[in-house]
Amino acid sequence: MKFVHIADMHFDMPFTLLSNRADLGEERRIDQRKAFQKVIQYVKENRIPYLWIAGDFYEQEYVKESTIKYIINLLEQIPETKVFITPGNHDPYLKNSYYATYSWPNNVKIFQGQVERIEMPDCDIYGLGFTDFECTSSDISNISIKNSDKINILITHANLDGSKVAVKSYHPLSSKMLQELGFDYIALGHIHKCNLERNTQKIVYPGSTISMGFDELGKHGMIVGDITKEILNLEFVPIDEKEFVEKELDISEINTVEELLEYFQNISLEENKLYKIILIGKRNFEINIYNLYKKIGNKNIIKIKDKTVLNYDLEKIANDTTLKGIFVSEMLKKLEEDKENAEVIERALEYGLDVLS
């Protein structure tokens, strides 16, 4: 029995914190559509009988009606494939949600807040979805598999083995409990990093279908599986055409803004990757990140992070009896006392040294 498992598409996510580039959010929303088209095309070409969507399919707060129509139109193109959706904390099954108010194709099953078992000819599929933006508990631990001779699948959106209080709101489950239930495959959503380590793994997060940003480095896509009662074979298939990459640049030998801009003009970057440039080393000049964004002109560089340090021997200067020495001494004390605002204090220290030099 073949299947495709995806999760965390987050259709119409605003991407507002991703970059200063105003058009990037729109680009990534188009990329979401391209990614789902690829999923549907794969399902269609390979005659996959099951598509499992394990939550956070869209953003309840932001999703447009036109996007829902687009999704439904694609799902209608695979009428022979049974589609199972378990809403998550970003797309819960609410009375006013599109899950509840729209007419979805006959091949689509949307689970709600109680565990349901759907009997299929070759398997039994159990599912549970969010009916609010939080889910602190469920009756999944009480599931008793009805027919152990069949392939048994569980689909849900959940936080696995979470220890922090904050994650308790997002359907906390334990691996040990899930393993003891006896399912042949458990399709999860919520964690944006794919956890597939071996092709026989039974509890799987596919990760977000496309990357949401620099906290989600690497390739993103879907899980393709083939399962019998005796054999499970899984494969991760990349879908996202772009990849987020962090690249460090040591500017210790760069002496002016002009030299830095020249470096950016000549830097070799791959077309299908979006870069965060992390500036490191000792800086010899003032760095204004906003001005760099405006002047670089390379659309693949979407974020710059300054992690450089001042190119001064501060301890030596602090021992001087000059005004500069007294200033540095006082600022170093502030740094020691207020580590939470270290970046702001360092900038103030830099500006002060520029004035006093």
Q: How many helices (H) and strands (E) does the chain have?
A: 9, 18
User: Residue 125's beta-bridge partner residues?
Assistant: 118, 153
> pLDDT of the chain along its 357 residues, tens only?
999 999 999 999 998 877 767 688 899 999 999 999 999 999 999 999 999 999 999 999 999 999 999 999 999 999 999 999 999 999 999 999 999 999 999 999 999 999 999 999 999 999 999 999 999 889 999 999 999 999 999 999 999 987 555 567 899 999 999 999 999 999 999 999 999 999 999 999 999 999 999 989 999 999 999 999 999 999 999 999 999 999 999 999 998 889 999 888 888 889 899 999 999 998 878 788 888 888 887 888 988 998 888 777 788 888 888 888 889 888 889 888 888 888 788 878 877 877 776
Which pLDDT value is given to residue 280? 94
Amino acid at 149: D
Domains of the chain from N-terminus onward: 2-238 (3.60.21.10), 243-356 (no CATH)
User: Residue 83's beta-bridge partner residues?
Assistant: 51, 108
Which pLDDT value is given to residue 30? 95
Q: What are phi and psi of 98, to 5 degrees?
A: -65, -25
The Cα–Cα gap between 187 and 182 comes to 14
SS3 70: helix
pTM (2 decimals)? 0.85
Element (H, E) at 110: strand 108-110
Residue in 72, 49, 24 with CA at minimum distance from that of residue 120: 49
Which pLDDT value is given to residue 355? 76
Roughly how many angstroms between the first and final C-alpha of the chain, as a whole number? 73
Which pLDDT value is given to residue 165? 52
Token pair 């495959």 is found at: 185
Tokens of 138: 């469920």
- How far, in Å, are 222, 245, 248 from residue 346 at the CA level? 44, 27, 21
User: Residue 151's beta-bridge partner residues?
Assistant: 123
